[in-house]
Copies of this chain bind each other. A is one copy, B any other.
Amino acid sequence: MNAFDVLGDPVRRRILELLAEGERRSGDIVEDIQQEFGITQAAVSQHLRVLRDSGFANVKIDKQRRIYSLDARLLQEVDDWLDRFRSFWEPKLGALETEIARGKKTRKD
């Protein structure tokens, strides 16, 4: 599943938003998502699997808990893809200004 397909699902986007605030136990995520979307624990778990498999999230096992955290690399790739469209909405800046400001990886880090 490509990054955009993963992001296509509102539940997964919400999970990523939650993870943007920090690590979270699977159960907590399940709770939040059930509140908002009314789906089962199994369904949430499957979304978490997609996020793991696609590279958007990492898991740490702590006894019988699973601690999920965000892996932002694919989101950054999305951000990079958007570069070619930015001229449509960003004011034109000097090259240096832009580079400084956007923290562009001039050297692929």
Residues of A within 8 A of B (CB): 2, 4-5, 7-10, 13, 16-17, 20, 70, 72-73, 75-76, 78-79, 81-82, 84-86, 88-91, 93, 97-98, 100-103
Q: DSSP majority for the A interface? A: helix
Task: Give 4 nearest A-B pairs by CB, closest first.
Answer: A101-B101, A72-B88, A90-B103, A5-B8
Taken together, the copies of this chain in the complex come to: 2
Compute how far the CA of A78 lies from the CA of B101 in the bound complex, rounded to whole angstroms.
Answer: 19
Nearest residue, chain B, Cβ from A10: B2
A8 & B17 in contact (Cβ 8 Å cutoff): no
Residue of B nearest to A84 (CB): B20
Neighbour of A82 across the interface among B70, B78, B84, CB < 8 A: B78
Whether the Cβ atoms of A89 and B72 lie closer than 8 Å is: yes
Residues of chain B within 8 A (CB-CB) of A91 are 103
Minimum CB–CB distance from A2 to chain B (whole Å) comes to: 7
